[in-house]
Structure 1
Amino acid sequence: MELTRKYRSPLAQVKHLGSAKHGTTHWLLQRITALMIIPLGVWFFLNLLNHMRSDYDTVMAWFTSPLNLIGNLVFFITALFHAVLGIQVVIEDYIHQQGIRFALLWTLKVGAVISGAVAIAVMVWLFMDQLLHPTQLD
């Protein structure tokens, strides 16, 4: 990957030395997701504070509007991916037995896929339910 070559030392580029060729990409993805989480998290929590005293229908109308739904999905998936990247590093660095490491990494990734799929399904279901049964806001 051309992007990762830019972050390697000149000697490592000449000798093709380095880790298993995924460490730089992993590091870069973790930084990118962290930078994405900052504005999305601020946006999410400010909206959460703004709707703390709102009734159910108002919150659902906010949550299921297309722009907010996309923002919530991007925030959740980005945060989930960032968490998986971070936990993966901890497992790889501190679990030395291959079988346990493999089982933990497999469980982590399967759990993340299931969590992401459930989150997407719930948000899409709420959006579709709001479209089919709109609430009247006074």
Structure 2
Amino acid sequence: GGAPSLAPSYWLADQRTATGELRTLRLEDGTLLSLNTHTAVDIDYAGAQRVIVLHQGEISVETGHQDPRPLLVRTEDGRLRPLGTRFLVRREAGGTRLEVLQASVAAMPHNSGDEQVLREGQQVLMNANGLGEVGTVPAGADAWT
């Protein structure tokens, strides 16, 4: 029966890519944000924090340094706080996949007060209740960028 339906958050998102489309944005703070195919994000720089919300798909983030406010990447599974870095975030069936390519990123699941720092070359699957086992980022993980 027809095409799979897309969540309203996909259509309402600030930035989205269609299937097969890639897009790279340079945000006002100098952050380089790449959207993989079929990805939807909201960008909210209005408040005390810079927030990128990933609804669907995968993003690559290379943080800019022209803004003193903390940068957060949020998904429904939790939040990621980059510590001057380049990293990938992908929505998967089981949660949110974080792959750290440079420096480190602190991950905090929604229902857990524990923040865990992942370092360069590490990856983890985060769901709302916690973090999975830390593994190694596969070679070429960011080849799509």
TM range (shorter): under 0.3
Q: TM-score, normalised by structure 2?
A: 0.21
Q: Higher helix proportion, which one?
A: 1
Q: TM-score, normalised by structure 1?
A: 0.22
Higher relative contact order (CA 8 A, sep 6+): 1
* Rg comparison, structure with higher value: 1
